[in-house]
Amino acid sequence: MRRAVAVTLLAVLAMPAAALAHASPRSGGARYSKPEVKTLKCGTGEQTSCPRGYVLRLSGENLAQTRTVIFLGARGSRDDRRARPEAASPHRVLVTVPASARSGRLRVLAADSAAAGPRLRVLPPAVAPPATAPVAALPGVFPVQGAHDYGSEINRFGGPRRHQGQDVLAACGTPLVAALAGQVTLTRFHARAGNYVVIKADDGTSQAYMHLLAPAAVEQGQRVSAGQPLGQVGQTGAASACHLHFELWTAPGWHEGGEPVDPLALLQAWDTPR
Ligand SMILES: [Zn+2]
């Protein structure tokens, strides 16, 4: 998400000529056109709420001359917080929600006019990543190093049996590698999961690999790189065929407060034909 925001910023910064062309000339006492803020959009995708520290996009008209965005908070000026835009163009302004901003309306100060903006609910700084895996943002390695397939509907994430991962069917003994770099937080045996290993990536998300042929080839606490061998595909635990059961959890991780998300799109993105 951070990268997407950066790209947006560049796109806006790259058009100062267009921004100037839209500004009314300040001659003969003529006033700038009054700014108007119509909609808000947070870097998280939310329309009316945004965590502190996130970039907020104000969309509307005549915004190129915006000098300051004031986060008004509650009544009175005590909790007002002012922020300079990161970028401004005729139809949008990008501004970072100040660290101590409070929920309330926004006010936009332009060259010589001001406008009231919509109300924004200010959230605490976000720690959890979005609930869907940012497919393009995670450089990873497909964990099953051999012939495989994704099975059928019952091997998918979710469904009536609340399957928390995606199964990758492959012959027992097929080499298994870490999909993402991180630290090994667990290697254990469980009656249902069989031999399993959990790796926490640097962004706080976790991957879990289950039904390994033998105890994982890595140790708890060990740092692993993407592509590092973990063991082999097996059918230990409650498994009716040789397969990898792969789970992806949001921060703060596997059974540490995170949530499982459907990893199929991410697996497919890593799954290059060999
Ligand atoms: Zn499974």
Q: Check whether 177 has a pLDDT greater than 70.
A: yes
* More reliable by pLDDT, 30 or 206: 206
CA of 273 to the centre of ligand 1 (A): 23
**What CA–CA distance (Å, rounded) separates 56 from 123?**
12
CA of 187 to the centre of ligand 1 (A): 17
* Closest residue by Cα to residue 207 from 243, 158, 175, 248: 248
Mean local confidence (pLDDT), 161-186: 94
Cα angle: 235, vertex 240, 246; to 5 degrees: 55
CA of 167 to the centre of ligand 1 (A): 5
pLDDT at 31: 54
pLDDT at 53: 75
Beta bridge partners of 56: 42, 95
pLDDT at 71: 95
* Closest residue by Cα to residue 92 from 52, 136, 61: 61
| Residue 251 CA: distances (Å) to CA of 44, 129, 135 | 16, 7, 16
pTM to 2 decimal places:
0.52
Q: What is the pLDDT of residues 193-202, one digit of tens each?
A: 999 999 999 8
CA of 164 to the centre of ligand 1 (A): 7
* Closest residue by Cα to residue 86 from 189, 13, 149: 13
Q: What is the pLDDT of residues 227-258, one digit of tens each?
A: 999 999 999 999 999 999 999 999 999 999 99
Q: Share the mean pLDDT of the chain.
A: 82
- Structural domains in the chain? 2-123 (2.60.40.10), 135-270 (2.70.70.10)
| 266 neighbors 248 (Cβ within 8 angstroms) | yes
CA of 1 to the centre of ligand 1 (A): 29
Band the pLDDT of 223: cuts 50, 70, 90: very high
Q: Give the gyration radius of the chain's Cα atoms.
A: 25
CA of 91 to the centre of ligand 1 (A): 48
CA of 246 to the centre of ligand 1 (A): 7
| 135 neighbors 270 (Cβ within 8 angstroms) | no
Task: Reduce the secondary structure of the chain to three states and give it as a string.
Answer: CHHHHHHHHHHHHCCHHHHHHHCCCCCCCCCCCCCEEEEEEECCCCCCEEECCCEEEEEEECCCCCCEEEEEECCCCCCCEEECCCEEECCEEEEECCCCCCCEEEEEECCCCEEEEEEEEEECCCCCCCCCCCHHHCCCCCCECCCCECCCHHHCCECCCCECCEEEECCCCCEEECCCCEEEEEEEEECCCEEEEEEECCCCCEEEEEEECCCCCCCCCCEECCCCEEEEEECCCCCCCCEEEEEEECCCCCCCCCCEECCHHHHHHHCCCC
Q: What is the pLDDT of residues 63-113, one digit of tens each?
A: 988 999 999 999 999 999 999 887 778 888 888 888 899 999 999 998 788
